[in-house]
Amino acid sequence: MEHHNRIRRQLVRIEDVLREHQQWQPTAPDAAAFESTQPFCMDTLTPHEWLQWVLLPRMHAILDGGLPLPGAFAVAPYYEMALESTQPGRDALLVVLLDLDKLIAGDDA
């Protein structure tokens, strides 16, 4: 249970970073944007939108439902490539995403 609590706290940290750097949106994208078949909905959502509207809600639902955590999980490498190096908050976001990757993998010692 403590492991799940640590993951939940990390999800909140991701949200905090998005808000701190004005990347949090008050309204969801159109429903059609979520019908993408591309990884990370890269053809219909920005990387920040995918975090806010896909990853965070799904991870909270997994934790709320007591479901198994994803087996293969690594979002930080995508964001390292997808976000321009000059984008505000990029480094802070990469840190919290890498920490989430490690928590999911069980490398949270």
How many structural domains are present in the chain? 1
Residue 109 in this model has a pLDDT that exceeds 80 = no
Query: Tokens 């159109």 — which residue?
Result: 30
**48-84 pLDDT, tens per residue?**
999 999 999 999 999 999 999 988 889 999 999 999 8
Domain housing 46: 2-24+42-105
At residue 40, the pLDDT reads 87
Evaluate whether residue 48 is within a structural domain.
Answer: yes
Evaluate whether residue 96 is within a structural domain.
Answer: yes
At residue 106, the pLDDT reads 84
Evaluate whether residue 94 is within a structural domain.
Answer: yes
Evaluate whether residue 34 is within a structural domain.
Answer: no
Evaluate whether residue 32 is within a structural domain.
Answer: no
At residue 108, the pLDDT reads 59
Evaluate whether residue 18 is within a structural domain.
Answer: yes
* Strand, helix or coil for residue 95: helix
Evaluate whether residue 67 is within a structural domain.
Answer: yes
CATH number at residue 10: 1.20.1440.40
Evaluate whether residue 6 is within a structural domain.
Answer: yes
Residue whose C-alpha is closest to residue 23's, from 52, 43, 44: 52
Question: Which two three-digit tokens encode residue 4?
Answer: 């799940």
Residue whose C-alpha is closest to residue 30's, from 16, 41, 19: 41
Residue 91 in this model has a pLDDT that exceeds 60 = yes
